[in-house]
Amino acid sequence: MEPEEMTRQKWEVLWYFVVNTGASTNPHLQKGCGVRYPTGSGECRFYSYPSRIHEDFGTSYISHEKTSISKDWAGKICEDLCALGILGSEMIRAPRQSGKTPHYYLLEGYEPYLLIMKYLFRMVRDPGMQRVLMNAYVIEHTDAGLVRYILSQKGVEIQRSIPLCDWETYEAPKVFEQYFRTECLNDSAPPCTFAAYIFEQSSCTPMVSLRLPVFPDGLSDEERMAVITSRNQQMFERHSWLKRYRSGIREHYGRFEYQHWILPILALIRASPAALEDFLFGDWEPYSGSLAYPLFTLMFTAVRDLALVRDVEHDPMVEMIRFHPEHVVSHDDGGLALLEIDLENGWTVCYDGAFTTDQRPVDISDGDAIRPALETNYSFRSWVTIPVSGPGEVLFSPEDLPIVLRFLRYLRDTRTLAARDILERLSNRVQNIITIPGDGDVPADSRIGRAILRDLNEILLSDDLYANENFPDLHLTKEGERLVCPVSSSSSRALMGDAKTITWAHFNREMLERVFPGVMPKRERPEGEMQYFV
């Protein structure tokens, strides 16, 4: 048997390692197989060895039916999986043995994961696919880092014009000045003031167009900037301040890329096994500096797959899916969507697409005709929104914008750790709006009004806003302590599914009302609603 040949028994041994490796971080999922030892980093790793695999397969590993495997054959399979780059081995003395023997473990990283998934899609077919993909190891690795890794392997880069308001507050005015120093002829004045630009009171829309590659996780800021500079030499020569003021580019990678490309892909591949297989192993490629066409095809792959089962089997990220809903999710979105994926963190990812088969041939000079390329006869867009119910609820609606503006401007003028932490969580664009002196109105239906509401609602939905050092005068009730200070792994945030995100929204809203009385008005609470502070 060649190492790359995958038999049913080799698959069972591989899946044995996958199941138990995923269970290492959750005692409630452990099956009593193999052994677990701490690594150099202090984390607990699952190991097994041939005689233990033989023992586990004969007793407790497979719940539906007992199977068997000899010690020698288990050892041969483990060596094959090592040769494939899926397993690693260490010499460890097993219990009741005098000498050290090879102990095998699942290698970390996305490359072993991709090998496992290649065999998974070969060995497992419907109807068991969704259940298999809910394995803890698979869920842990099917994340935003995986999406970035695959996109970087494909050489994806996004052509984007970054508005100057995406730079940090201390850089944005300087960037604005230097941008127009280069762009304006004969040292003429900019067509508008910085404040008018930030508040969209002018048609002045300065932007910097850049080719921005998708990078895998782990690269330093310097490594990224070296690549970006090399791909945008003319722009960096024209606007040399880009080398010094980098916050707008960091904002692209920290916020824009995630919400516009990474999250829409991640939601689809977490919801649909077929979309996951196509994204990982399909023969697709990006077109003309955009991911619109790959996302368009991935959306319809997911729709076809989900239409057959109409279920997402307990995925800790995806809560619900709606196809062709006849409603607008929220006031800050782009209208009606063809597909909506509600996430457990309170966000909704929306997708809309259309196509036509009417591709009219284009005449060329020699009398021949050519048809348009496949990726030109379609339209696609995706956006992320936070659904809100209306005024008086936990999250802020457009009617609450005056309250939100007053609150954020109060934070701007308040020198406390809590105020500074909240402001730093806002996007650079919203921070620039808040930093401009004055108390002018912002229309609720404007782009900047929607951005302000969206940012504060994101903060309300977060599970890490509370920190004792930032709120020293607050005292938690028992319910509040259980939420922020889990006493065991069984009650940790990971197992609580974000503690149901709306719980965090109630917690954070109550906290802000108590810390900033009068500025953050108290909402009317229904009788019996949980209180998290004394």
pLDDT value for 494: 40
pLDDT value for 183: 86
Q: Name the one residue in this structure whose structure tokens are 């899609």.
A: 121
pLDDT value for 24: 65
CA terminus-to-terminus distance, the chain: 67
Query: DSSP assignment of 309-367, as one string?
Result: H----S-SSEEEEEES-SS---TTS-S--SEEEEETTS-EEEEEEEE-S----EE-TTS
- In 3D, which of 395, 458, 399 has the Cα closest to residue 425? 458
Peptide bond into 206 cis (omega under 30): no
Give the integer Cα–Cα distance in Å for 6 and 80. Answer: 10
pLDDT value for 524: 86
Q: What is the mean pLDDT of each run of 10 residues along the chain (534 residues)?
A: 79 93 66 80 88 84 65 95 96 81 95 97 81 89 97 94 96 95 79 91 90 96 96 96 96 96 97 96 84 94 91 85 77 76 93 83 61 73 87 85 93 92 96 84 87 95 94 93 68 44 91 94 86 94
pLDDT value for 186: 67
CA distance to 146, 224, 232, per residue, from 220 (Å): 18, 6, 19
Asked whether the whole model's pTM tops 0.85, one would answer yes
- Contact between 447 and 506 under an 8 Å Cβ cutoff? The reply is no
- Contact between 389 and 213 under an 8 Å Cβ cutoff? The reply is no
Give the integer Cα–Cα distance in Å for 531 and 534. Answer: 8
pLDDT value for 488: 43
pLDDT value for 104: 97
Give the integer Cα–Cα distance in Å for 99 and 182. Answer: 73
- Contact between 425 and 522 under an 8 Å Cβ cutoff? The reply is no
Q: Name the one residue in this structure whose structure tokens are 């319910």.
A: 479
Q: Which two tokens stand for residue 184?
A: 């304006």
Report CA torsion sign: 156, 162, 168, 174.
positive
The three-state secondary structure class of 533 is: strand
